[in-house]
Chains A and B, each alone.
Chain A
Amino acid sequence: MTATTTTQVPGGAPVSKNAESALPTHAKVPSRIAGPRPTTGVPFGRLVHVELRKMLDTRAGRWLLIGIGAIIAIALTIMFFNEGGQHAFGEYLQATTMPMALILPVVGILAVTSEWSQRTGLVTFGLEPRRIRVAWAKLLSALFVGVCAFALALVLAALAHQAAITFRGITGDWSTDALVLLGAGGYVLLGIAQGVGFGMLFKNTPAAVVVFFVLPTAWSILGSMVSWLSDAATWLDMNQTMQPLFEGSLTGAQWAHLATSVAVWVVAPLAVGIWRLTRAEVK
C-alpha cells in the first residue's frame, strides 16, 4: 500500500497544494442515463471523430504540428529574402508541402503505435471490438489531417507568392500543372498512409519511425553501390517513382513504376498491418 498524502483531517494541518483531493466521504451511485441502451454499434463517423481528436489532443501530436508550422515559416522566410524572393508559385508550394510530407507520416505512425506503447489499446479496442473499423478510422482521420494540411500548404504558398509580388516586386508566376498539384498532394497523403501502415505493421514507435525514414536513404545509398538494386529502385524507390509527378508528366512506364512502389510500400504494409491489428492480443 502506498503511503499517500491525501488524508485531510478537518481542522488539521493545512494540506499542501499538490496533495491530491480526498475521495468523497460517501460513495454516490452513478446516475442512470435516460432511455434504453443502444442496440446499434458505434457510428463510423464517431470513430473517425475520436481518432482525429486523439491525434491532436496530446502534447506529442501538438508539438509535431507546431514543428511543421515552424519549419514552413522558416522555409518561406528564407525564400522570401533569397534571390529577391523571385520564385514561382510552384516553388513556394514545394516549400510548404515538403515539411508536411516529411513530418505528417509520424502523426500517422503515432496514431497507431501509441495504442500499444501507451497501452490505450485496452480502452480503444474495449470500446470498439470490431478492430478493423478502428483501423479504417485511423487511416481516414490521418488522411483527413493530410488533406487539411495540403489545403493549408496551398494557401500559405499562394500567400507567400503574392507577398513576394506585392512587397518584393517580383513577376508573378502562378503556372501550375494539375499533375504537379496531384503529385504534391499525393506525396503528402501517400506518406501518411505509409506511416499508418508502418505503425500497424511494427506496433512500435521507434521501429516504425526509423524504418520509415531510413528506407528512402537506404535506397539511394544501396542503389548507387549495387547495380541491380538501382534497377529495382526505379520500380520500388518511392522518391524516384514520385519524381515525374512533380515534373508534371508521366509516361505509361512511369505510372507503372509509381503504382508498383505504392503497392509495395503503402498498400502492402497497410494490408498486413490491418491483418495484424485485428488479430493481435491487446495488453
Chain B
Amino acid sequence: MITVERLTKRYGPFTAVDDVSFEVKPGLVTGFLGPNGAGKTTAMRVMAGLTPATSGRATVLGKPYAALPNPGRHVGLLLDASAQHAGRTGREVLTLGAILMGVGKHRVDEMVELVGLTEKEANRRVRNYSLGMRQRLGIAHALLGDPEVLILDEPANGLDPAGIRWMRDLLRGYANEGGTVLLSSHLLNEIERVADEIIVIGHGKIVAQGTKDELLAGAGTYTRSTDDEALMAALAEASIVAQRTPTGGLQVEAEPIAVGRVALAHQIVLTELRGADSRGLEEMFLDLTAGAAREEVAA
C-alpha cells in the first residue's frame, strides 16, 4: 500500500513532480507510465525517502518511508539497476543486503536461483554484468527481505521479451499473494503486459489513471467485414461514429457489442470484431512524448 498525496517536487524553477496524488493498492500490479523525464523516478525516490518533497507527502504501509523499521523487510526497492558498486560481485551485493536486513545467507542463494543467475555469474563482479543481468540482480535484491511492497523503476529495461514475460509472471504471482507492486516504464506495451492499474504521468502531472480495462475501454472497437461500405452506412444510421483505417477495416467509437448488433441487424458478415488496441492510451501517450521532450532533470 502506497499513498501519495498532493506531492510536488521543484528544482529551482523546474517542477519535476506537480501536485500528484494516487494510491497503489495491495494485490495489484500498478504501472507508472510516462515518457522519460515525466517525473516517475523523482516521485519514486520521494516515496523511498531519498529525495525530500517540496510539498505534499508519500507514505508506504501507512508511514513515511523513513519511519519504517528495517525498511528492507517491508519494502523492496529497485531504483536503478546500474547503481551498484562495479567492484563487488553480485553475490556480495546480496550478502550485504541480507546481513543488514537480518535474513539468513540461504536467502541469498534462494534469490540468486530465483532470478536464474548461475553460481558463476553470481560470483562475477557487477562491472561485467549486462544491463539485463543487473536488472535481475536488482530484482533479487528487492525481493531479498520478503517485502510487502515493491517499488521498481524501469525494471524491464534491458530484459528481452522472454525476460519481460518472466517478470510479469513473477509480479503477478507476488501480487496474487497480497503484495503491492508499483513499477514504472516509459514503454506502453511493457506496462500493458504487466500492470492491472495504470497511472500515466507527463510533465510531472498525472494525466490518466485507472484500471487497464478502464483506460483501454475508451479505445473503441476495431472491425472488418465482407462489406465495410455497408457497415459504415449502417453504423452511421445508428449514429455511431466510424472511420476507415489506412490498413483496411473500421475503427468504431463504440463497444464491440454495439457494432455486432448493428451488423446482425443489417446482416453484414463480420470477419473481425474486437476491442481496439490501446489506441486511446497510445495516442495520449504519444502526445505526451511529442510535447517538448524533456530530459529528466534529476536522472
Q: Which residues of A contact B (CB under 8 A)?
A: 1-2, 4, 6-7, 20-33, 37-43, 46-47, 49-50, 53-54, 57-60, 114, 118-123, 125-130, 279, 281-283
Contacts and interface: CB of A to CB of B under 8 A. Distances in A.
Given A2-B158, A37-B73, A50-B100, A57 B92 contact: yes
Contact of B71 (A33, A127, A279): A127
B73 A24 contact: no
A279 B111 CA distance: 33
B143 A58 contact: no
Interface in B29-73: 45, 48-52, 65-66, 68-73
Given A122-B79, A127-B97, A38 B132 contact: no
Between A29, A32, A59, A60, the greatest number of chain B beta carbons within 10 A of the residue's beta carbon is seen for A29
Given A24-B116, A37-B73, A119 B82 contact: yes
Contacts of B72: 126-127
Given A4-B132, A30-B114, A118 B103 contact: no
Contacts of A23: 115-116, 136, 159, 162-163, 166
A20 B133 contact: yes
Nearest to B11: A281
A41 B65 contact: no
B166 A30 contact: no
A129 B49 CA distance: 7
A26 B114 CA distance: 10
Given A30-B110, A39-B69, A123 B97 contact: yes
Interface stretch (B169-177, B196-204, B224-232, B235-243): B169-177
A118 B83 contact: yes
Contacts of A31: 110, 146
Given A6-B160, A281-B51, A46 B102 contact: yes
Given A54-B96, A59-B87, A283-B45, A38 B73 contact: yes
Contacts of A58: 85, 87-88
A49 B73 CA distance: 18
Contacts of A130: 66
Given A6-B160, A22-B162, A29 B71 contact: no
B99 A126 contact: no
| Minimum-distance CB pairs A-B, first 7 | A119-B83, A29-B173, A27-B169, A27-B170, A58-B87, A129-B66, A282-B50
B80 interface: yes
B173 A27 contact: yes
* B131, B167, B169, most chain A CB atoms within 10 A: B169
Q: Which of A23, A46, A128 has the most CB of B within 10 A?
A: A23
B160 A123 contact: no
B162 A126 contact: no
Contacts of A1: 160-161
A125 B50 CA distance: 7
B71 A129 contact: yes
